[in-house]
Amino acid sequence: MIPAAFAYARPSTVDEALQAIAEGGDDVKIMAGGQSLIPVMRLRLAAPETVVDLTRVAELRGVRDDGDAIVIGAMTTHHDVMTDPLVLQHAPLIAEATETVADRQVRARGTFGGALAHADPAGDLPAVALALDADFVIAGLGGRRTVPASEFFVDYLTTALEEGELLVEIRVPKLAGEWGMRYEKFNRVAQAWSIVAVAAVVRREDGHIAEARIGLTNMGATPLRASAVEAALAGAQASPETIAEAARSAAEGTAPSSDLNAQADYREHLVQVLTRRAVTAAAGL
Amino acid sequence: MTAVEDRPGTDAPEREVGKARRRKEDARLITGRTTWTDNMVLPGMLHLAVVRSPVSHAKITAIDVSAAQQAPGVVAVYTGRDLADEQGSIPCAWPVTPDMVNPGHPSIAVDEVNHVGEAVAVIVARSKAAAADAIELVDVDYDVLPPVLDMEEAVAEGAQLTHDHLESNTSYHFVFDAGEAGTGTDTEQAFADAEVVVSRRFVNQRLIPAFMEPRSVVVQPQGDNYTMWSATQVPHILRVMLASVTGVPEHKLRIIAPDVGGGFGGKLQVNPEEVIALLLARRLGKPVKWTETRSESLMTAHHGRDQIQYIDVAADREGHVKGLRVRLLADMGAYLRLITPGVPALGAFMFPAIYKFPAYRFECDGVFTNKVPTDAYRGAGRPEATFAIERIMDELAVELGMDPLELRRKNWINAAEFPFTTVAGLEYDSGDYETATQQALELIGYDELRAEQQRRRESNDPVQLGIGFSTFTEMCGLAPSRVLGSLSFGAGGWEHASIRMLPTGKVEVVTGSTPHGQGHETAWSQLVADELGVPFEDVEVLHGDTAISTRGLDTYGSRSLVVGGTAVVKAAEKVVAKARKIAAHLLEASEDDLEFSGGKFSVRGTPGAELGIQEIALAVFAAHNYPEDVEPSIDADATFDPVNFSFPHGTHICAMEVDTETGMVKIRKYACVDDIGTIVNPLIVEGQVHGGLAQGIAQALFEEAVYDADGNLTTGSFVDYLVPSAADLPHFDTGNTVHAAPGNPIGAKGVGEAGCIASTPAVVNAALDAVRHLGVSDIRMPLTPERVWRALHQGGDGGDRATAGTNAYGGAQTESTAGVSTPASSLGGDR
């Protein structure tokens, strides 16, 4: 459990970080909280040439109000996200899901941006970001660009981040109207990854569901939106029967894996139950 | 002047036994500010790293170590061929039958590998990192053979062989037949005459002990002497065994088990790496250290359980049991380690449990497979037996349409019938199953739970409730040496202790029962404080070093207090007897006129004429004035060999919620009332019960060592091998009844394994009770949500799990944790 040798850089600004990444050679890994990267390196699943440690980049930490969105710095720890007043007010779904991530020790070091950039299909936060239509602000030596969540997650452990780029912040739109949210996580022991989880964001209007956004965790190589369910719920009556009926299509378009926690058909079943429960709770029923 | 501190008052000190003392060893154990083996740093020490097989079954055709030898910091690289002449075979101390087949177990594979993770070479380097880096540079060519992984296939005609130099995959066939032994009637006749027969096949899955401190060993050569520090449960046994394996004479070998962080039987072993470390320290003349990684620990330290159990019970229509028939396939893994074959054989005597079976037959095949060997794991044979019998009693109750508790009552041994000789020939010492059961029913609030269960059934609630029982007993206090001899075990079961009275009145207690977290230092201090009438704080307990604790048989099988504690008490009695002679001399009184109480000898009828035992310790140290006919010492030692096992028992009740939509099971309430005899320290007992429950529940709900179709361990990290934490377990309502064990002066029966043995069937029975009305009659352990869901919606017992590890953080597996992958293992598939 000793990583292979690697070069190490510890910049203190985003510019220095981008420089360090550019100079780090062919195989650079960016370390945020290190809660996924270090175990993978200790198991020698990854043996990067250079590790660029963002711990000291203070400008990447914290949550700020930016008018129609809250902006979460990529290096904000899970603990700080969970307890942040802006998050609790405008995106409580993020706090709810973050509380289920691993254990207290991991949440003290692990970061919001690190978890998203790692893009673990069993990780909780990608599906949440997807359901909330978050935008990802990416810095490179040539400047900054913004990628919507729907384009950020590309494949298994793969995102839209190009070589030499750095995820700097995540913009989460403030939701207008009467929104309810729920993260339904299904796992076997408290600190484990999700076997399947469902992030539901529902806007109610006059006893109807005006809009539902549903993110699915671990139903494929990337987080997915349950589009069929969303379509069935749009404008539907907010009743247990309608929601149950809509949730039956939650597995449409998914491609879950089989492992010792769950085979694919069981995941396809679970996602329907969890979607029903998440939407029901988010709709306030 | 006296070196003994004055204590206020003249009243006898408060009795220590029964006091919930906090453990005196905990501060250093919990903070880690102590000597764990891996903390040892010796001048010039070299580090070992083991190159392990990524394949489960293969011939080794070539090994090229040249690149590793050239790597920075590497001192030497050795293969099995290099050590073949001196490494011998890992010893097996329990040949359960005269014709048991033992294939031999090299510490480093020479010609063939038989499980993933088997050592094929060892790197010696100047740093741990250099040794780890060089592992990848060793190039081994394997000629891969098909692995043997399934026991039922392994014993079939024409099966692929685990070891091609053997004739079959069967190591032994062990039979206990009560009719033949004269302890019961004819089993076949009992079944032929029976009105009801229920037969089941249960799978008692493979588990990993997963002790907290990884294994670690340091060896220091000094001339032709060797000192070994090892994270072992059994320094005394290790010394004898290493001497016989390596030829280093026993008197040239000193073994020290410093503070050891858990074992659960997993450190009751002679490990290949301990042999390797000793051989290399001898060869190189320098200190060496090996400490395993967690991945190595899960993959190569011995596993536990792994039985397929075919069990038949015969009864009449009124529910009186008439006969029990058990046939086991017990997975040995690839090799026989220290007591690998003995574990299922030990269980043979526990299948009849607390019930009055008139007839009983037990047969067990030890089966070789290309997996890591199994061996002792908390309970060792008894949890497997208890699971099978407590599960089938529920099945019989269903068949008869009886309440499961009523069926048990009808058949269990009544309190007035003790001592009771069972159909397996064991004499149960004491107990009262009815009282324990009544208390447990009250603790859990049984009637309310049954009413709620009824409501949930009637309303067709998606969350159903079930209640499960386990009315268990076990054999503890291993063990009467003569009984072990009759079972062909290679050693006895006595224990040794000595007490040294220091000049200042302080007391050193040396115990041969080596702790690895159980709290011996506290409990032994309590025993000695009472026996000698000295303050608890004045007692120091020494252990684990064969140069200090010269005789001992260590800690396992819930034996320490029952056997080792008794040796301490007997030694203390001798100290008092020796001190009495000195006291009589100094007080100028007859020994017969002396009373000993509260640490003081006083002369009957002469107020004020008294002498404390701690003062006597100083007097014999000075030795200015003592009787002519005695030695100037009141130190004493004692060896205790029990005449019988002790038999703790208890009733465990679990209330379980089953979410029928997802298959998720959740323990709603858990209550248990254990009779473990006299309780020396209630706090330690509570801790042992809680830990045992956690492990037993873990078998029922969470843990399973899973191999894929190529023989890779896919539960190779804690991502996939799910050890529950406090967050995953319910509150435990615990209670006790106390029937002192008649077999030892303390009256203790043993508690180390009780919770682990009893809880597993209670939990499974509870889950089945919740869903039996939905057509489910068995669910394989662990009760993963998927298995529960499949049993509910597809029938059967939930079936095999996919064998692929989770995809979380990249699968958490590497070639070195899970071996190679082929298409057959990619997505598991069923096997």
Of A258, A270, A274, nearest to B827 by CB-CB distance is A258
Q: CB distance A263–B802 less than 8 Å?
A: yes
What is the architecture, at CATH level 2, of domain B147-208+303-416? 2-Layer Sandwich (3.30)
Count of H-run helices and E-run strands, chain A? 12, 14
Task: Report the pLDDT value the prediction gives residue B828, as an integer from 0 to 100.
Answer: 28
Percent of chain B with pLDDT over 90: 94
Q: Quick one: closest CA in A to B816, which residue? A: A43
The phi, psi pair for B254, rounded to 5°, reads -120, 130
A7-53 and A62-173 share one CATH topology?
no
For residue B818, the chain A residues in CB contact (below 8 A) are none
* Dist CA B102 CA B485 (whole Å): 20
pLDDT of residue A177: 87
**The CATH fold of domain B429-476+644-831:** Aldehyde Oxidoreductase; domain 4 (3.30.365)
Tell me the shortest Cα–Cα distance from A152 to chain B, in angstroms.
18
Q: What is the pLDDT of residue B810?
A: 53
The residue among B786, B692, B699 whose CA lies nearest residue B204 is B699
Q: Is residue B14 very low, low, confident or very high in pLDDT (cuts 50, 70, 90)?
A: confident
Residues of chain A with pLDDT under 70: none
Q: How confident is the prediction for chain B on average, in pLDDT?
A: 95
| CA–CA separation, B267 and B237 (whole Å) | 11
What percent of chain B is predicted at pLDDT more than 70? Answer: 96
A174 Cα to chain B: minimum distance (Å)? 31
pLDDT of residue A36: 92
Residue B649 scores a pLDDT above 90: yes
Nearest-by-CA chain A residue for B727: A190
Closest in A43, A120, A261 to B784, CB measured: A261
CATH code, residues B26-34+494-640: 3.30.365.10
Find the mean pLDDT for residues B716-724: 94
Contact of A124 with chain B, judged by CB distance below 8 Å, is answered with no
Give residue-wise pLDDT tens across range B291-318: 999 999 999 999 999 999 999 999 999 9
Q: What is the pLDDT of residues B53-111, one digit of tens each?
A: 999 999 999 999 999 999 999 999 999 999 999 999 999 999 999 999 999 999 999 99
CA distance B144 to chain A (A): 24
| Res B818 pLDDT > 60 | no
Q: Does the structure show a pLDDT above 80 at B46?
A: yes
Q: Are B41-145+210-300 and B147-208+303-416 equal in CATH topology? A: no
pLDDT at position B816:
37
Across the range B241-267, mean pLDDT stands at: 97
With 0-12 / 13-18 / 19 or more C-beta atoms within 10 angstroms meaning exposed / middle / buried, residue A143 is exposed
Nearest chain A residue to B291, by CA = A1
B295 chain-A contacts, CB cut-off 8 A: 1, 43
User: Which of the four pLDDT bands, split at 50, 70 and 90, describes residue B11?
Assistant: low
Contact A188 B817 (CB under 8 A): no
For chain A, give every domain's residue range.
7-53, 62-173, 178-282
For chain B, domain boundaries: 26-34+494-640, 41-145+210-300, 147-208+303-416, 429-476+644-831
Class of A62-173 in CATH: alpha beta
B12: confidence class by pLDDT, cuts 50, 70, 90: low
At B201-238, the pLDDT tens digits run 999 999 999 999 999 999 999 999 999 999 999 999 99
* Chain-chain contact of A121 with B807 (C-beta, under 8 angstroms): yes
A104: contact with B, CB 8 A cutoff: no
Q: What is the pLDDT of residues B556-582, one digit of tens each?
A: 999 999 999 999 999 999 999 999 999
Q: Of the candidates A46, A122, A270, which has its C-beta nearest B806's C-beta?
A: A122
Q: What is the mean pLDDT of residues B526-554?
A: 98
- Strand, helix or coil for residue B226: strand
Answer whether residue B140 shows pLDDT above 80.
yes
A284 interface with B at CB cutoff 8 Å: no
- Residue in the structure block whose two tokens are 């990619």: B826
B809 touching A, CB under 8 A? Answer: yes
pLDDT of residue B821 exceeding 70: no
Asked if A118 reaches chain B (Cβ–Cβ under 8 Å), the answer is: yes
pLDDT in tens, B417-440: 999 999 999 999 999 999 999 999
User: Side chain identity at A40, as an amino acid letter?
Assistant: V
Nearest CA-CA distance, residue A65 and chain B, Å: 32
B132 contacts in chain A (CB < 8 Å): 2
* A139-142 contacts, C-beta under 8 A, 24 or more apart: A139/A14, A139/A18, A139/A165, A139/A166, A139/A168, A140/A18, A140/A164, A140/A165, A140/A166, A141/A18, A141/A19, A141/A22
Task: Please give the CATH topology (third level) of the domain spanning A7-53.
Answer: 3.30.43
Among chain A residues, the shortest Cα distance to B702 is held by A188
A34 min Cα distance to partner chain B (Å): 12
Q: Which residues of B touch A43 (CB under 8 A)?
A: 295, 717, 812-814, 816-817
Q: What is the pLDDT of residues B682-698, one digit of tens each?
A: 999 999 999 999 999 99
Check residues B813 and B784 and name the one with the higher pLDDT.
Answer: B784
pLDDT of residue B814: 40
Asked if A157 is an interface residue toward chain B (Cβ–Cβ < 8 A), one would say: yes
- Residue B809 is predicted with a pLDDT of 60
Report the sign of the C-alpha dihedral through residues B69, B75, B80, B86, in that order.
Answer: positive
Q: Which of B309, B311, B319 is nearest to B398 (CA)?
A: B319
Chain centroid to CA B223: how far? Answer: 36
The per-residue pLDDT for range B369-419, each reduced to its tens digit, is: 999 999 999 999 999 999 999 999 999 999 999 999 999 999 999 999 999
The pLDDT value given to residue B830: 26
Tens-digit pLDDT profile for residues B323-373: 999 999 999 999 999 999 999 999 999 999 999 999 999 999 999 999 999
Which of the 8 DSSP states describes residue B592? G
Six-digit token pair at B169? 């995959």
What is the pLDDT, as a whole number, of residue B831? Answer: 20
Q: Which CATH number fits domain B41-145+210-300: 3.90.1170.50, 3.40.50.970, 3.50.50.60, 3.40.50.720?
A: 3.90.1170.50
CATH dotted code for A178-282: 3.30.390.50
